[in-house]
A and B are shown apart, each in its own frame.
Chain A
């Protein structure tokens, strides 16, 4: 599959009371048709990277290409769309006028614009608010109109920065479904989000950035697969249980059920053989999964975020006591 986004050695430095490396030699590829999660704590360099991809700011080193065009190139911007974080639009316009304005920037003719505006307003659930001025829109409605403007040009690559921020749960699910439907249409989505549950559900691959550096990247299913397997059985003999304890090293008995946690696939096979050999009955073999939240916390914890940890109320109380 061809690369939709290709970034090599991308570096961005800012000078604010000394040099700050916002993005440090970032290299990644996003394949066409995939939903790619771009994760990281606040200040990790995600938005800076997105801005470099769109040509809003310029890299100090490295290159970036989108659909074979240099980042920021005008031809590239015809094929790409962007939803900024906490979008703010011209609030003197109505929802319909705003989409028409963006349609004009793509040089769409009047007939196509009118049709497209109606379709998109319906798609994002704002059909009845088309004639309403944006200053009367709620935060969630602004997010919806932001998504609509990002679709005005029927883009091949969509760059979304926190698309579900500020949405109520129902709208949240609707937008998530919309993002998934974009994959079905063969579009590539570059999704920067703190909503890890969304990312886990919709993304094919993810990358995690911290302090401007890429610290983890991979397929979501592979990252989530922990490697451990839970085996449940009944009627396991004491002899078999002893042997299993020796190789799995982690077994419990619950309500007459024997549960073993196997550290790898080799042990799974041995444990299954022991259960069967001891006339036991195998109930289930379940590969254990972690959540993306666990992976994220582990990754960022390992990379370190000194001075940014939020403490607990207990720590505060202890501190006061001292």
Chain B
């Protein structure tokens, strides 16, 4: 495991140099600024739109970053032939594979962390001003209250942290899928395939509906949908936007407990893909 960590650290250092990841990161910042502008033009309560849009930006750019990173993790090693000098050292193949994945997951974590930090920063600034709908004129004109500000900012930061945690574990699955598929597919095909899995996984509620329809004219569709439903990850379970957009709706669920549960599911599901990857890589000729 120690060796896997050595590989992971090196992979992280290597991945951070990739210009395309930095471009995605910059684009996500630009999108956050645009979302902030949108926030001022909406009639709804200020902040809610920005929080949900902000987390959606983190998710989409996080997915782009994780797929782009993972599809090249092992093919690049083979193309540049750096893999020869590493695998000829006393290192188990599973350690190398796991190390590459962990390096990718570390990179995604770092990038998602930066995007979330930017989101939290903006929300902290926004929290200076109390939400417009829940405020009366007296409050608006009242003197600036630092304790209130910090309380509002703290609440927003916790919400973003919870959202980031759930998004990150969703992306851990995406990274595991792309890393494993990179053993069979070219980076371009792998990018499309992983993106397809991510999209279908995010729309599993539609897939479930298709799987349960018996009157379908084309008999293959329910079977195909059932296959997708049981095999592909349930990314829609990672969607916590509802609790942000509609905070007034009472739910009898502990949000943090829910986040921990889906995160555990993310680790377990990613683990299964990694297991397949390790078995394949063990006999892969390089």
The answer to whether B88 and A106 touch across the interface, beta carbons within 8 angstroms, is no
Instruction: Closest A residue to B86 by CB, please name it.
Output: A105
CA distance A154 to B17 in the complex (A): 32
The answer to whether B13 and A81 touch across the interface, beta carbons within 8 angstroms, is no
The answer to whether B92 and A149 touch across the interface, beta carbons within 8 angstroms, is no
Shortest distance between the CB of A46 and any CB in chain B (Å): 14
Query: B1-17, CB under 8 A of A: which get 1 and which 0?
Result: 01100100010011001
Instruction: Closest A residue to B81 by CB, please name it.
Output: A88
- Checking B6, B14, B88, B283 against A77 with a beta-carbon cut-off of 8 angstroms, the contacting residue is B88
The answer to whether B81 and A90 touch across the interface, beta carbons within 8 angstroms, is no
The answer to whether A84 and B85 touch across the interface, beta carbons within 8 angstroms, is yes
The answer to whether A90 and B88 touch across the interface, beta carbons within 8 angstroms, is no
CA distance A116 to B234 in the complex (A): 50
- Checking B17, B80, B87 against A54 with a beta-carbon cut-off of 8 angstroms, the contacting residue is B87
B17 cross-chain contacts in A, Cβ below 8 A: 92
Instruction: Closest A residue to B283 by CB, please name it.
Output: A58
The answer to whether A101 and B10 touch across the interface, beta carbons within 8 angstroms, is yes
Any chain A CB within 8 A of the CB of B89? Answer: yes
CA distance A226 to B98 in the complex (A): 56
Shortest distance between the CB of A177 and any CB in chain B (Å): 23
CA distance A40 to B117 in the complex (A): 58
Any chain A CB within 8 A of the CB of B250? Answer: no
A279 cross-chain contacts in B, Cβ below 8 A: none
Query: A222-244, CB under 8 A of B: which get 1 and which 0?
Result: 00000000000000000000000
Instruction: Closest B residue to A100 by CB, please name it.
Output: B6
Counting residue pairs across A and B whose Cβ atoms lie within 8 Å, the total is: 71
User: Contacts A58-B285, A92-B14, A107-B2; is A82 near B85 (CB within 8 Å)?
Assistant: yes
Instruction: Closest A residue to B80 by CB, please name it.
Output: A88
- Checking B2, B13, B14, B85 against A149 with a beta-carbon cut-off of 8 angstroms, the contacting residue is B85
Shortest distance between the CB of A124 and any CB in chain B (Å): 15
The answer to whether B10 and A90 touch across the interface, beta carbons within 8 angstroms, is yes
A81 cross-chain contacts in B, Cβ below 8 A: 88
Any chain A CB within 8 A of the CB of B90? Answer: yes
The answer to whether A74 and B85 touch across the interface, beta carbons within 8 angstroms, is no
CA distance A136 to B84 in the complex (A): 22
Between B10, B89, B283, the greatest number of chain A beta carbons within 10 A of the residue's beta carbon is seen for B89
Which residues B34-90 have CB closer than 8 A to chain A? 80-82, 84-90
The answer to whether B92 and A74 touch across the interface, beta carbons within 8 angstroms, is yes
The answer to whether B90 and A78 touch across the interface, beta carbons within 8 angstroms, is yes
Interface residues on chain B, size class:
20 to 34
Between B81, B92, B283, the greatest number of chain A beta carbons within 10 A of the residue's beta carbon is seen for B81
Count A interface residues, CB 8 Å: 31
Instruction: Closest A residue to B13 by CB, please name it.
Output: A92
- Checking A87, A104, A153 against B85 with a beta-carbon cut-off of 8 angstroms, the contacting residue is A87
CA distance A90 to B87 in the complex (A): 14
CA distance A89 to B88 in the complex (A): 14
Any chain B CB within 8 A of the CB of A102? Answer: yes
The answer to whether A104 and B92 touch across the interface, beta carbons within 8 angstroms, is no
A247 cross-chain contacts in B, Cβ below 8 A: none
Which residues B75-121 have CB closer than 8 A to chain A? 80-82, 84-92
Shortest distance between the CB of A157 and any CB in chain B (Å): 11
Instruction: Closest B residue to A135 by CB, please name it.
Output: B17
Any chain B CB within 8 A of the CB of A297? Answer: no
Shortest distance between the CB of B64 and any CB in chain A (Å): 22
User: Contacts A90-B10, A93-B13; is A57 near B89 (CB within 8 Å)?
Assistant: no
CA distance A310 to B173 in the complex (A): 53
CA distance A153 to B85 in the complex (A): 13
Query: B202-225, CB under 8 A of A: which get 1 and which 0?
Result: 000000000000000000000000
Instruction: Closest B residue to A57 by CB, please name it.
Output: B285
The answer to whether A82 and B286 touch across the interface, beta carbons within 8 angstroms, is no
Shortest distance between the CB of A241 and any CB in chain B (Å): 62
B286 cross-chain contacts in A, Cβ below 8 A: 51, 56-57
The answer to whether B88 and A104 touch across the interface, beta carbons within 8 angstroms, is no
B6 cross-chain contacts in A, Cβ below 8 A: 101, 104-105
User: Contacts A92-B14, A92-B17, A105-B3; is A77 near B89 (CB within 8 Å)?
Assistant: yes
Shortest distance between the CB of A69 and any CB in chain B (Å): 11
Shortest distance between the CB of A264 and any CB in chain B (Å): 47
Query: A89-114, CB under 8 A of B: which get 1 and which 0?
Result: 11011000000011011110000000
Any chain B CB within 8 A of the CB of A261? Answer: no
CA distance A75 to B88 in the complex (A): 11
User: Hey, which bits of chain A sit against chain B, CB under 8 A?
Assistant: 51, 54-58, 74-75, 77-78, 80-84, 86-90, 92-93, 101-102, 104-107, 146, 149, 153
| Contacts A54-B84, A81-B88 known; 5 new A-B pairs at CB < 8 A | A51-B286, A56-B286, A92-B13, A105-B86, A105-B89
15 A-B residue pairs with CB within 8 Å: A54-B88, A58-B283, A74-B92, A77-B91, A78-B90, A80-B88, A84-B81, A84-B85, A88-B81, A88-B82, A101-B6, A101-B10, A105-B89, A105-B91, A106-B90
